[in-house]
């Protein structure tokens, strides 16, 4: 029987999502818990991978169990094992044709920037930013990235295809926090962090709009800074 779970985790306590032989990962922790309940090895398929220190409030994964377990009971049992740095929010049965990665229609990421007085307790959960932030500049930059583009200058590693579509980028401020929300499809490795890095460089006057536009052209190659992982959250994954 195939199940879909939605879950949250504190990325500061894991070496990323992907299963690792000798290091603690989100995937490995969930698989160990599910294997105990299933009384046989279980492999989970996530909606995508997150890097070290990246957090999630709405990650999604699917898996198959040999022993059928009611969804509510499965949530309860899993949370007793994976507590305290992973929390399963809900669970449901899905068709065998469903795939947590390949069935995705949209993803939502949020990047959080703290620009108040330095607070070491917040370090693992925000980019600590000590420069002036212009919401106007961040929004000007965000407009460039919305739509379908070739994001080859904003991803890590070599890819045959770096085309992707960003449906929306919102910038909002509340007290000492600026949140940048990205909604779209086909986010690649480091892509959100590189886009945020470019937005902050534009905010600081270190690059121009015309240059950022050129970076979306196929034959233009340039790399800018990458924002730190600890400010990034996978906020939601959508299938309809």
What CATH number does domain 2-93 carry, 3.40.50.2300, 3.30.70.580, 3.40.718.10, 1.10.150.110? 3.30.70.580
In the chain, what are the domain boundaries?
2-93, 106-238
Distance separating alpha carbons of residues 111 and 227, to the nearest angstrom:
9
Residue 32 phi, psi dihedral angles, 5° rounding: -60, -45
Q: Which residues are catalytic?
A: 51
Q: Are 106 and 183 in contact (CB under 8 A)?
A: yes
> What is the predicted pLDDT for the residue at 224?
93
Q: What pairs with residue 4 in β-bridges?
A: 62, 92
> What is the predicted pLDDT for the residue at 160?
83
Residue indicated by tokens 């922790």 = 29
pTM: 0.95
Distance separating alpha carbons of residues 173 and 130, to the nearest angstrom:
15
Distance separating alpha carbons of residues 142 and 169, to the nearest angstrom:
6
Q: How many CA atoms lie within 13 A of 55 on its CB side?
A: 19
CATH 3.30.2130.10 fits 106-238, yes or no: no
Structure tokens given for 183? 């909604």
Average pLDDT, consecutive stretches of 10 residues, N- to C-terminus, the chain (240 residues): 98 95 95 97 95 96 96 98 98 96 96 95 96 96 97 89 95 96 94 97 96 94 94 96
Residue 166 phi, psi dihedral angles, 5° rounding: -105, 120
Structure tokens given for 208? 């121009």
> What is the predicted pLDDT for the residue at 158?
79
Q: Are 180 and 143 in contact (CB under 8 A)?
A: no
> What is the predicted pLDDT for the residue at 21?
87
Longest dimension (CA), the chain: 58
Structure tokens given for 98? 């469903």
* 2-93 and 106-238 agree in CATH topology: yes
For every residue of 168-200, DSSP letters joined together read EEEEEEETTEEEEEEEEE---TTHHHHHHHHHH
Contacts of 169 (CB under 8 A, 6+ apart): 142, 143, 145, 146, 180, 181, 182, 183
């Amino acid at each position: 029987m195939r199940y879909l779970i939605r879950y949250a985790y504190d990325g500061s306590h894991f070496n990323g999502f992907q299963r690792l032989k000798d290091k603690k990962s989100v995937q490995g922790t969930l698989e160990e818990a599910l294997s105990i309940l299933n009384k046989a090895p279980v492999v989970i398929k996530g909606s995508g991978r997150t890097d070290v220190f990246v957090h999630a409030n709405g990650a999604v994964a699917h898996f198959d169990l040999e022993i059928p377990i009611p969804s509510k009971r499965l949530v309860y049992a899993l949370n007793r094992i994976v507590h305290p740095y992973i929390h399963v929010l809900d669970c449901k049965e899905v068709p065998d044709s469903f795939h947590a990665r390949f069935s995705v229609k949209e993803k939502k990421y949020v990047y959080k920037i703290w620009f108040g007085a330095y607070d070491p307790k917040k370090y693992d959960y925000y980019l600590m930013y000590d420069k002036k932030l212009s919401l106007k500049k961040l929004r000007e930059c965000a407009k460039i990235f919305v739509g379908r583009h070739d994001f080859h200058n904003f991803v890590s590693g070599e890819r045959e295809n770096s085309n992707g579509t960003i449906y929306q980028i919102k910038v909002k401020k509340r007290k000492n926090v600026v949140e940048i929300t990205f909604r779209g499809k086909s986010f690649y490795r480091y892509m959100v962090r590189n886009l945020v890095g470019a937005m902050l460089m534009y905010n600081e006057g270190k690059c121009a709009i015309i240059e950022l536009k050129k970076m979306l052209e196929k034959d233009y190659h340039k790399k800018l800074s990458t924002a730190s992982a600890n400010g990034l959250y996978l906020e939601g994954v959508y299938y309809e």
